[in-house]
Structure 1
Amino acid sequence: MTSLIVGANGLIGRRLCERLSRNSVGVIATTRRMTDLLAHPQVRWKTVDLAAFDGWAKLLDGVKTLYHLAWSTIPASADPDPARDILENVVGTVRMLEAARHVPGLRIVFASSGGSVYGAPENLPVSEAHPTRPVSAYGISKLMVEHYLDKYRAMYGVDGVALRISNCYGARQQSQKGLGAVTLFARAGLRRDPLKLFGAGDVVRDYVHVDDVVDAMIAAGARRHVTGPINIGSGVGHSLREVITRLEAALGHPLEVQQAPPRIFDVAASVLDVTRAYERLGWTPTISLDLGIERLLAELRSELETECGSRSSSIATIPSIFTVRKAILGH
């Protein structure tokens, strides 16, 4: 059995590679750039740019489960250039779906966004029945792909499910993109660097640990013909100020906070109702924010030790999984 992870070199994708390869599942993993890749006998890396790739038919040959994680934008970068967001992400995904409809028995799991497709919530927690009124170009594009999944299911029987993931965090999150407040704040705290806080810190989010997200993705990939959308989150809301307080308690020292103006695409609160995930996937979150922070700090400390020990690598190793700067195409 072979799984294809499109966009495998991000936070969720790397963890998913690790989990599937440990389960003796053959993995084809794609990335736009062949740098800092996880190397494992079960993982074969391919260079794929979702925006321009046209070799889907060959890549999907023999694949049973496709995890679609690739996305070139974040909310802050999608709004200034929404046309590019659509061309790179939505059009690229439709090309993939066109090839997927010719692969019998293929299961597709799409990583959508529970934090952006709903817009300003009418009530909390937000269930999948809530109206979808995204306020960002990023959320609109994610929702467009969800609709295309529905279209290809209805017209061609493509077996796809969209997981609306809340604010995921974990070590190895790419800090240069400005993603993941918990990870960004934790890394700044360990380095005793100042952290940037947008607004007063009263924005509430549903923070879910990457290990819980990967559990949900694997469950969604294993259950054929289970439809979505399905919320994936902790089901609990925490303000940014509360995150800072909990990190300070775990670190044992205060964090230096630099105030910044609030961002226009940030809704005041977003907390997901994850009841459907249990009903349809048998999944429920298991990692509280305090436990997640504990795990995160442990991994980040290992990451920092690796940085200090070797200038050539900035990612902590995990048993039986190691990092390489370059990989041979198709290895």
Structure 2
Amino acid sequence: MSGRPPVAVTGGAGFIGSHVTTALVAAGHPVLVVDDLSTGRAANLAGVRDEVELLEADVADPGLSRQLRAFGATVVCHLAAAIDVRASVADPVTDAQRNVVGTVAVLQAAVDAGVGKVVFASSGGSVYGSATPPPVPETAPLAPESPYAASKAAAELWFATFRRLHGLRWTALALANVYGPRQDPAGEAGVISLFADRLLAGEPTTIYGDGSQTRDFVHAADVAAAFRVACGPVGDDRRINIGTGVETTVRELHTVLAGLCGAPDQPRTAPARAGELHRSALDAGLARQLLGWAPAIGLADGLAGTVDWIRSTTPARLAGAGQAAAAARGPLRP
């Protein structure tokens, strides 16, 4: 039995969650993954599947507290969420049910199970809105411009309330735009995996807006390292930015990815989408101060590794998609 405290990871079979799970296992923590596998995939845990417990359940399941207590969890890393900004604009009620009510359910389950701390995946790329020019520090006012961002901001009020009521410690890691292996281009993907998947397939790509919009791209492995540290007795009861502080335009990103994929750098353009910011980058000075954290993977290396991963997994993903489509169609008829 490891001497490290047991940790539960909601959404632990998802893109970022699986990286967090892997980092915690590597550090010697027993890990319980809680995931309904609606967007997460058990295959994301292939490297650690024999070393973790996988509970296929929704975070709002009333039995979650019993499972947390049985596992002995002392910390919960809460990453389960609906992450599609456009879907949140189209259907804010469903977004709130999944992201606000789901978070409150996790907090209550944590309290009932005697968990000491929750580490939350917030969104530094959206909670600050566009009022403060980047790189944005944690002292900037919260100004969400989408229901998704509002759900992340609302979570902090719930954390503070549970801290006062029950003494539950918390840390909200406000993440920049996370990328890396395991980000499914066919799912609720980021721009890097979407571009790379289409460029490798020789399919057209689309830039929404004029391409001058910027993002702060941080690798999933670096994000996982921040979660691992935040599971300890540091950074309590506050939001901490996790990003690089560097702005990269979407147009620049497309050029780099086209080169890595050996594809023409000729994206289509379309109108900008509602709820998305024009500029975004985070000041991560507090993370260096409180967590001893700084990004270790540069964008050039990270993009190359991500493209290699997408290239290596494309046949398997296409085969899986074909099998799923066949199953949906049912048996062939003469």
How far does residue 313 in structure 1 lie from its aligned partner after superposition? 8.7
Which residue of structure 1 aligns with residue 55 of structure 2? 46
| TM-score normalised per structure 1 | 0.88
Which residue of structure 1 aligns with residue 325 of structure 2? none
SS in 1 for 2:237: coil
Moved more, 197-206 or 294-303: 294-303
Which residue of structure 1 aligns with residue 327 of structure 2? none
What is the one-letter code of the residue matched to 1:268? H
How far does residue 122 in structure 1 lie from its aligned partner after superposition? 2.3
Question: Which of these residues, 145, 154, 161, is aligned with residue 171 of structure 2?
Answer: 161
What is the one-letter code of the residue matched to 2:31? V
Which residue of structure 2 aligns with residue 29 of structure 1? 33
User: Matches of 1:177 and 1:210 in 2, distance apart?
Assistant: 17
Equivalent residue runs for 1:64-79 within 5 Å: 64-79=74-89
How far does residue 301 in structure 1 lie from its aligned partner after superposition? 2.0
* 1:239-297 CA-partner distances (Å, limit 9, x unpaired): 10010121233334323412111112112101100000111111011212111111112
Question: Which of these residues, 200, 204, 209, is aligned with residue 210 of structure 2?
Answer: 200
Q: Say if 1:230 and 1:277, in contact at 8 Å, map to a contact too.
A: yes
What is the one-letter code of the residue matched to 1:290? A
What is the one-letter code of the residue matched to 2:291? L
SS in 2 for 1:96: helix
Q: Say if 1:231 and 1:272, in contact at 8 Å, map to a contact too.
A: yes
What is the one-letter code of the residue matched to 1:81? D
Q: Say if 1:194 and 1:255, in contact at 8 Å, map to a contact too.
A: no
Which residue of structure 2 aligns with residue 4 of structure 1? 8
Matched, 1:264 2:274: yes
SS in 1 for 2:138: coil
What is the one-letter code of the residue matched to 2:295? P
Question: Which of these residues, 191, 194, 201, is aligned with residue 184 of structure 1?
Answer: 194
User: Matches of 2:251 and 2:145 in 1, distance apart?
Assistant: 24
What is the one-letter code of the residue matched to 1:107? K
Q: Say if 2:85 and 2:276, in contact at 8 Å, map to a contact too.
A: no
Which ranges of structure 1 fall in alignment gaps of 5 or more residues? Answer: 315-331
Q: Say if 1:107 and 1:224, in contact at 8 Å, map to a contact too.
A: no
Equivalent residue runs for 1:86-97 within 5 Å: 86-97=96-107
Matched, 1:248 2:228: no
What is the one-letter code of the residue matched to 2:53? R
User: Matches of 2:64 and 2:115 in 1, distance apart?
Assistant: 16
User: Matches of 2:121 and 2:28 in 1, distance apart?
Assistant: 23
What is the one-letter code of the residue matched to 1:32? D
Question: Which of these residues, 184, 196, 200, is aligned with residue 174 of structure 1?
Answer: 184
Q: Say if 1:121 and 1:269, in contact at 8 Å, map to a contact too.
A: no
Change (3 A) 1:307 1:22: same
What is the one-letter code of the residue matched to 1:300? I
How far does residue 142 in structure 1 lie from its aligned partner after superposition? 0.8
User: Matches of 2:51 and 2:268 in 1, distance apart?
Assistant: 44
Higher relative contact order (CA 8 A, sep 6+): 1
* 1:40-69 CA-partner distances (Å, limit 9, x unpaired): 22111112223x411122122110221100
How far does residue 170 in structure 1 lie from its aligned partner after superposition? 1.3
* 1:93-148 CA-partner distances (Å, limit 9, x unpaired): 21221232244452211001011111113222100000111110000011111111
Moved more, 112-121 or 221-230: 221-230
User: Matches of 1:29 and 1:95 in 2, distance apart?
Assistant: 16
What is the one-letter code of the residue matched to 1:53? D
User: Matches of 1:313 and 1:223 in 2, distance apart?
Assistant: 43
| TM-score normalised per structure 2 | 0.87
Equivalent residue runs for 1:117-136 within 5 Å: 117-136=127-146
How far does residue 11 in structure 1 lie from its aligned partner after superposition? 0.8
Question: Which of these residues, 92, 103, 109, is aligned with residue 99 of structure 1?
Answer: 109
Question: Which of these residues, 126, 140, 143, is aligned with residue 153 of structure 2?
Answer: 143
How far does residue 73 in structure 1 lie from its aligned partner after superposition? 4.0
How far does residue 305 in structure 1 lie from its aligned partner after superposition? 5.0
Q: Say if 2:234 and 2:290, in contact at 8 Å, map to a contact too.
A: no
SS in 2 for 1:202: coil
Which ranges of structure 2 fall in alignment gaps of 5 or more residues? Answer: 323-334
User: Matches of 2:15 and 2:233 in 1, distance apart?
Assistant: 23
Change (3 A) 1:107 1:201: same
How far does residue 85 in structure 1 lie from its aligned partner after superposition? 1.5
SS in 2 for 1:60: helix
- Point out the structure with the larger helix share: 2
Question: Which of these residues, 41, 51, 56, is aligned with residue 64 of structure 2?
Answer: 56
SS in 2 for 1:28: strand
Which residue of structure 1 aligns with residue 21 of structure 2? 17
CA RMSD of aligned residues (A): 2.0
User: Matches of 1:259 and 1:81 in 2, distance apart?
Assistant: 25
User: Matches of 2:321 and 2:208 in 1, distance apart?
Assistant: 31
